[in-house]
Structure 1
Amino acid sequence: MTRTDQLRDRTDPFKGGRSGPRRKVLISGASIAGPALAFWLNRYGFAVTVVEKAGTLRDGGYPIDVRGTALEVVRRMGILPRLQDAHIDSHRITFLDGDGGKVASLNPHTVAGSAAGRDLEVRRGDLTDALYAAVRDDVEFLFNDSIDTLDQSEHGVDVTFRGGGRRTFDMVIGADGMHSRTREFVFGPEEQFHRYLGYCFAVFTMPNTFGLSHEVMMWNTPGRAAAFYAVGDSDEVHAFLNFAQPEPPFDAFRNPEAQWDLLACAFADAGWEIPGMLAAMRDADDLFFDGVSQIRMPRWSSGRVALVGDAAYAPSFLTGQGSSLALVGAYMLAGSLADRDHAAGFAAYEHNTREFVTVNQEQVGEGDAALFPTTARALEKRNDMLRNLSAMPPAEGRPAHSALILPEFMTMT
């Protein structure tokens, strides 16, 4: 008997002659929440399949944070050393005014409220690679496919795949992002759960012709921001454009030409490096455009289907907690299901995780992001704050990213 089989025999209450075979779970999405959930469900003895519409994992990507409680999740997964090796050690973030003059140059940890030497910032692709490597030999991955239909009954979930396959699972978990199709299948249109925060943004890569290294440079005028993020000494930088937009432009989210028109209009009279950024964006093959939004739902499950990560509770990039909530949510969902049926497990998952999610989502409100002021007065106030930031007292109490102490669901030694 293998080590994995021994774990399954001991940890799965639905295996080994008492209640039948291993429970089968389908996870839609192979970004962060999906592979993390697959890892923990496999540990608890589930038979896991992950379906991903893309043909491969998405590499590269904008840098993301792993902080607070999520650090303990990756430590328990055994991938913390790999992520520490991939850590991006940014040296400074420089804020510029509308004419390109320097407002302040600071240590990024001072701005983000993160802990140097402990909290991690890695490329999104480095995190997804680490998660995939930790689980790829133990679960089934179906790339270049997706759920076409799902039909629940008291006995399971019948799934038809876009590629033509048909299978039945005990549970289906949507880990397919803020614009989750799994959520739409079961709960209805996204608009009813979409909390728009008043901004739109675009990210893409462009040549690093500015001599930037291990740093961020951010330009602001009221209601507009642009930034270059130089990860290491790469010959490319991550370019970022953000602008205030009163209503969410839902039509533009699926229309690249409409996205270009919005950005060109918003930044039409901007100086600094903005004209070059707009030109580079036209040629970029990795442009990502979206609204700055959250997903807020009254419940995260229905019957045998549940949601995790951005599909259930996207907090927006303004909180810096999207990836961390995905990692923590995956751990909590899997552990809640380890010794319960789906109904009790889903209920426990939500009961024990919702407060942590809410605390993190409430770090930002509509149109009041500290880094992106929408009025001249608010921008000047922010700039004054940045100039004096080194003298600011530390925040009181437990920070939002550490507001949950991970439970020990089951001993696996």
Structure 2
Amino acid sequence: MRILVSGAGVAGPVLAYWLTRHGFAVTVVERAPTLRRTGGHAVDLFRPAVNISESMGVLPHIEERATGTHRMTVHQENTRRPVRVDLSKIFGVASERHVEIMRDDLSGIYYDAARDDVEYLFGDSITAISPDGEVRFENAAPRRFDLVVGADGLHSTVRRLVFGDESRFSTFIGAHLGVLSLPNAPGLDGELLMHVGVGRTAGMYGARHLGDARALFLFRSERELDYDHHDMPRQKELLRGAFGGMHPDVDRWLDELDRTPAFYFDSITQLRMDTWSQGRVTLVGDAGYCPGPAVGGSTSLAVVGAYVLAGELARADGDHERAFPAYERTMAPYVSGSRAAALSAAKTLVPTSRLGVRALAQGARLISALPAGPGRALLRLTTRSARLHDSMTVDDYPVRPGARPYRHDKTPDHEES
């Protein structure tokens, strides 16, 4: 049985790994010419995703590339005295197993786990999918697959081709996100430096193995701003307008916008679909149920979703008419909880009032100062999303006896990691 996966970010390689272990033949198509190597931004893996990574044998590599961020300094706008927070205590209160890692590092680790058993088509994209499984590409010749999975992110091509325009399913939740790479001039090592004001939050951190740092910007707006996803000058202009004059530190970060080698900007948008499957096609990760970039635990959600989808297909012996509904039933409560958590997190991380600014700083300080038990209790009282990600349980999908990974005769043409 041949399965095509669109997207080589996080969900795609994890899905490819588990599908091959269940004996399916997998091809992954990726629009980018190679795996992205710019580092990306920091993402979180919580207990279920950490456990899945451990069962893949890649957890030591993930821990080796962890950011090591364990403390945070919070500057409240127009307040001189900063608040210092033990981040490791907060993560320990929120999750029994947690790792923070740069997104591109994580993607590369998952890719390496099964790249010898998977056909990768880099520098290509799907242009059409027929009901009988024939797929057309921008560059490669048309081919027929038994199933197609969209793992191609918030602005999914597969979703657009099969389900329609993104605007039918996306819900703006009131904020925008920007991330840029910049020199680690302050020499940050294991520290997140934050500036928080009414309607805007900016931060800078450096991973211990990176030669540079990342600046993160979150800001509120009543409506989704007007810009094109490919118009970087316009996006940078919006970011300058939202954060100019906040603090000399933030102004210095903004000065790097014209020199940064890597820049990301998007609205914080949730996808809300009644179903992620249609015929031979289904969606996984942000392509199907993005709870909101940076606020909803979307990376862990993508890892768990990929694992469950592969497992349900194996359990149903490849019968997608049984596997797809089972996959959706399993993931639905986790997706719903992640959406609610994202709404709560957005309000907390980007306060709407001066009281909210103070509550964010002092609440984080208090939770980090308390012992684990009282800290968890306080977290449950102050947020709807406390330990949401750790509460997710999934079935064990053992590899069937005798199932062997599919191996292609020809090595695909792409840059090796």
Same-fold status (TM-score > 0.5): yes
- Equivalent position SS for 1:353: helix
Q: Percent identity?
A: 35
- 1:39 is aligned to 17
RMSD value, Cα: 2.1
The change in CA–CA distance for 1:25 and 1:207 in structure 2 (over 3 A counts) is same
- 2:102 is aligned to 123
2:213 to 222, 227, 237: 237
Q: For the Cα contact (< 8 Å) 1:95–1:102, is it kept in 2? A: no
Q: For the Cα contact (< 8 Å) 2:28–2:121, is it kept in 1? A: yes
- 1:373 is aligned to 351
Q: For the Cα contact (< 8 Å) 1:199–1:242, is it kept in 2? A: yes
**Residue correspondence of structure 1 range 219-234 to structure 2 within 5 A:** 219-232=195-208, 234=210
- 1:405 is aligned to 393
For 2:146, give the aligned amino acid: D
The change in CA–CA distance for 1:318 and 1:122 in structure 2 (over 3 A counts) is closer
The change in CA–CA distance for 1:34 and 1:234 in structure 2 (over 3 A counts) is closer
Worse-matched range after superposition: 301-310 or 311-320? 311-320
- 2:119 is aligned to 140
Once the two structures are superposed, residues 43-66 of structure 1 have per-residue CA deviations (whole angstroms, 9 ceiling, x without a partner) of: 111111000000111122212111
Shift of residue 342, structure 1, vs aligned partner: 1.0
- 1:394 is aligned to 376
Shift of residue 144, structure 1, vs aligned partner: 0.3
Quick one: distance in 1 between partners of 2:209 and 2:396? 41
For 2:6, give the aligned amino acid: S
1:78 to 42, 57, 74: 57
Quick one: distance in 1 between partners of 2:275 and 2:348? 30
Aligned residues: 388
**Residue correspondence of structure 1 range 10-409 to structure 2 within 5 A:** 23-59=1-37, 60-99=39-78, 101-112=80-91, 118-153=97-132, 157-232=133-208, 234-319=210-295, 321-340=297-316, 341-365=319-343, 368-389=346-367, 390-391=369-370, 393-395=375-377, 399-409=387-397
For 2:340, give the aligned amino acid: E
Shift of residue 163, structure 1, vs aligned partner: 0.5
Q: For the Cα contact (< 8 Å) 2:10–2:302, is it kept in 1? A: yes
Unaligned runs of 5+ in 2: 402-417
Relative to the length of structure 2, the TM-score reads: 0.88
Quick one: distance in 1 between partners of 2:375 and 2:315? 44
Shift of residue 398, structure 1, vs aligned partner: 8.1
- Equivalent position SS for 1:242: strand
Shift of residue 272, structure 1, vs aligned partner: 2.5
For 2:245, give the aligned amino acid: D
Worse-matched range after superposition: 66-75 or 325-334? 66-75
Shift of residue 320, structure 1, vs aligned partner: 5.2
Shift of residue 296, structure 1, vs aligned partner: 1.6
Shift of residue 102, structure 1, vs aligned partner: 3.8
Quick one: distance in 1 between partners of 2:398 and 2:174? 42
- Equivalent position SS for 2:342: coil
Q: For the Cα contact (< 8 Å) 1:98–1:272, is it kept in 2? A: no
Once the two structures are superposed, residues 343-385 of structure 1 have per-residue CA deviations (whole angstroms, 9 ceiling, x without a partner) of: 1110110011111121122113279521210222321232332
The change in CA–CA distance for 1:174 and 1:370 in structure 2 (over 3 A counts) is same
Quick one: distance in 2 between partners of 1:387 and 1:357? 29
Quick one: distance in 1 between partners of 2:310 and 2:245? 50
Quick one: distance in 2 between partners of 1:71 and 1:366? 24
Quick one: distance in 2 between partners of 1:352 and 1:117? 22
Unaligned runs of 5+ in 1: 1-22
Worse-matched range after superposition: 168-177 or 199-208? 199-208
- Equivalent position SS for 1:163: coil
Worse-matched range after superposition: 96-105 or 262-271? 96-105
Worse-matched range after superposition: 140-149 or 401-410? 401-410
